[in-house]
Amino acid sequence: MRVVIIGPAYPLRGGLATYNERLARAFRDAGDEVRLVTFSLQYPSFLFPGQTQFSTEKAPQDLPIEVSINSVSPVSWWRVGNRLRREKPDLIVFRFWLPFMGPALGTIARLISRNRHTRIVAITDNVIPHEKRPGDRPLTRYFLSACHGFVTMSRSVLADLRRLHFNQPARYQPHPLYDNFGPLKPKSEALKALNLSADFQYILFFGFIRAYKGLDLLLEAFADARLSALPVKLIIAGEFYEPAAPYDALIQQYKLEERLVLATDFIPNERVADYFCAADLVVQPYKNATQSGVSQIAYHFERPMLVTDVGGLSELIPDGEVGYVTKAQPKAIADALVDFYQNQREQQFTAGVREQKKQFSWGEMITALKAVAN
């Protein structure tokens, strides 16, 4: 098939771009002709909470990437949509994660559909966003109504689609492994790369810091006296996408300064392996969620996990086999962390992770996307 993936890609940075580029390679491995179409302007700067939207890494040399969509310029939507309408690719895969993108992506999809040949499917990370704003539903509906089918990476998003009365073909397919951050490395090597002492053990919180991700719950849990008595430190690796002051206040309140490793800048792809391989356990203390790419990085690096029982997180983390599923409460999180270290669960859970990771295939994602397109 001739396939076009529309969504974040280089020179943009972040998990969505990484995923879309890996998906393109999976299509290519399946024998399809593929290219990516991404944004020349993804967000106006005043709407972007991070330091920069752009990657500092080298461009991928093996992927054709066209930078042409301006999210706030209808002229660019018309140009891209009409050009793809004339080109008649067999399949367009949109990545939809935010209602703000509804007008741009919905208009492009409608224009392409006029050729009556191209099938349009969407990987829908969310259809009801974590952080709600006025106008979310009509913007989301405008895009979703232009699609022929959907793939969701959590059952909760699939349920949301049906709740919004979208009855196009839709399929749940778990998030594939993020296997593009390099191979596993020994813990001792990762600790050395991060200049961390081998006298301590390490828990990892990884990813952009936003309110719904529950870092405050983890800090409160980590203040538990049982954990204070253990030679364990918490690594916080990820850029703040909101003010840091409330978290700084918690750190000072509980006197956690000496027990934390703060790496609160954007983590480039070439450093991801070090953070995961240095950790004993990856913690996702989210207050709400759909799915998380962090879980699939942890699976790739064969790290046990703790997740909270919200959204689709628990679908991929069998409790007691690869880690813990807890309530989104500091006491419940602390109890699990204490159990992990006092009962030396790392080896047991790592074996479970190695078994579970076999099911998360990029080939299965390609099959799902083609299935809902028919």
Neighbour-count burial for 44-57, b at 16+ CB within 10 Å, e otherwise:
eeeeeeeeebebee
Measured CA to CA, the distance from residue 112 to residue 241 in angstroms comes to 34
Measured CA to CA, the distance from residue 296 to residue 179 in angstroms comes to 8
218 near 332, Cβ under 8 Å?
no
**Ordered per-residue pLDDT tens for the chain, 374 residues:** 999 999 999 999 888 999 999 999 999 999 999 999 999 998 776 665 666 667 777 888 899 999 999 999 999 999 999 999 999 999 999 999 999 999 999 999 999 999 999 999 999 998 887 667 788 999 999 999 999 999 999 888 999 999 888 989 999 999 999 888 999 999 999 999 999 999 999 999 999 898 989 999 999 999 999 999 999 999 999 999 889 999 999 999 999 999 999 999 888 889 999 999 999 999 999 998 766 789 999 999 999 999 999 877 888 899 999 999 999 999 999 999 999 999 999 999 999 999 999 889 999 999 999 999 98
Q: How far does Cα 119 stand from its chain's mean position?
A: 25
For the CA atoms of 277, 54, 265, 126, what is the dihedral angle to 10 degrees?
A: -70
Measured CA to CA, the distance from residue 372 to residue 18 in angstroms comes to 23
Measured CA to CA, the distance from residue 170 to residue 195 in angstroms comes to 46
Among 318, 322, 320, 313, smallest CA distance to 294 is for: 313
**Tokens read off for 268:** 């480039």
| Contacts (Cβ under 8 Å, ≥6 apart) of 61 | none
User: What are the start-end ranges of the E strands in 25-135?
Assistant: 33-41, 65-70, 91-96, 119-124
Helix/strand/coil for 67? strand
